Amino acid sequence: MRMRVSVFTIPVLLMACASTGTPPDPPSASRVLSWNISGDAFVTHQGEFTALLAYARPDIVLLDEVDPQVSVLQLRQALPPTTVPAGEHSDNDDWHISFGTSGGRQRGVIASRLPIEELPEFGGIVPYRDNARRLITERMTASDRARFASRLDDGIAVNGAVVLANGRRLLVVIADLECCGDDPASWAELKRRVEAKEIRRVIRQVLLRSRIDAIVLAGDFNLVSTAIPLALMTGPYASTHSGLIAAELYHRDGLTTWTWDGRGTPFPSRALDYQLYSPGMLSVEEGIILDTEDMAVEELDRHGLQRDTSSRLSGHRPLVVEYAWR
């Protein structure tokens, strides 16, 4: 059964808080927006980025492939105000932000309206283990080794934190797996599998050390060869979480599933981005692959958007999912 795609029903509570300037109580449901932003679009096209997030109204924003030259201040300035009336000044200090350090030029960023707890497991470089590094580099050609082997020193592009709401502890993880390599025997596919296993291992470490009530693991998984990296990240985890499953998402037409736009390239548009979640603790209330090309002109005008806003910001489309606690 397909989920509903009319995701943008703004809770009355949030509307009331915006009019009074008082912070909302922690919600019983959390809306998560995940997006491969492919660099620094929230700096170069800040107005459109802010308008799109204001339209989506996420509680938690998970960004991957963020340029490490971007500052936390620049990101904070691009996030929509959370607790002040429209048009009034806000320095957005009420957004809680974790800027990942692993992944070199492709960092993972977590921004939340709710308090977050940073995790030591994601506090530095998440490394490739020596044996895995050797296997990956052995599969590379000499030219690929010269271009890509040193990037292994940057670590895996992943970041994670715990979002705190109503006494619940939601582990959110944002990841960006290796691009390209459609041959199952390629070094890029092997690297994706290594990354997926390591991300799973780190999540297991967090679960052993800390109470976690549910998990959302999102990002660009670059499944251009096999689905094995996705399967690896689903688990298994501790019994409370067991296996994660992917939120079933569509564009507004209820049929289209691509998240990366291949138009103008030799490759077809396809689903590369996912949100995985703990089905025993969370249910998906609503969700959508958000694309301004799917919106009516009147709706675009009302929210300060243009038809090509999505494509101007990134080749990927954001995923927006509203989760409720079971």
pLDDT for 294-324, tens place per residue?
A: 999 999 999 999 999 999 999 999 999 999 9
Give the residue-averaged pLDDT of 203-212. Answer: 96
Residue 161 lies inside a defined structural domain of this protein: yes
Q: Residues 10-21: pLDDT tens digits? A: 333 333 333 344
This prediction's pTM: 0.89
Residue 173 lies inside a defined structural domain of this protein: yes
Residue 29 lies inside a defined structural domain of this protein: yes
* pLDDT confidence band for 239 (50 / 70 / 90): confident
Question: Looking at residue 27, what is its pLDDT?
Answer: 54
Give the domain CATH number at 203.
3.60.10.10
Beta-bridge partner residues of 324: 29, 283
Q: Residues 101-121: pLDDT tens digits? A: 999 999 999 999 999 999 999
Domain count, the chain: 1
Whether 268 has a pLDDT exceeding 90, the answer reads: yes
- Could you tell me the residue range of the domain that residue 157 belongs to? 12-325
